[in-house]
Structure 1
Amino acid sequence: MKGGNMMTETVFFNPGNSLGNFQDYNEAVRSAKIYRQKHNELEDANVIVVNGKHNDSYDIFLKDHAEKNNDDNEPYTIKKQI
């Protein structure tokens, strides 16, 4: 998913695991990059920016926190992987 075209992928997260919620996509990407830089131990983990199921905001999550779909999780669409 780095660079080039990205296929749409739906992932499930518990909203309580969000590292941040933003109304502006660019702000979400900037915050995800800052988080990634501050946490160098995340060598293989990815911080991702996702669009919520209502497409009205952007959240950032650690991709490793993706979960299987159950009643507590919401579907998100990956917009950018950092």
Structure 2
Amino acid sequence: MHRSTPTLVTFRLFVVVRTALLAALVLHRRVTDRDERGDVPGWVLITVMTAGLVAGLWAIAGPALEGMLRQALDSVR
């Protein structure tokens, strides 16, 4: 069986990290090179849906969160 030397392990780690960085760079270039003007309706939909989710969660969990905050602040005083 072949034993890994520290140099070989370091080299393999370097190759893996370098490959990951190159893949990330290629993906970043692909994403940033696109024309995103046509994606405005998608971003608007995401924003509206997020606002709706926050409002819904706030309506459901608001009283419980307010009670927890008051209890935490009262314990600090």
TM-score strictly above 0.5: no
TM-score (normalised: structure 2)? 0.25
* Richer in helix (by share): 2
Q: Which has the higher contact order (CA 8 A, sep 6+)?
A: 1
* Larger radius of gyration between Structure 1 and Structure 2: 2
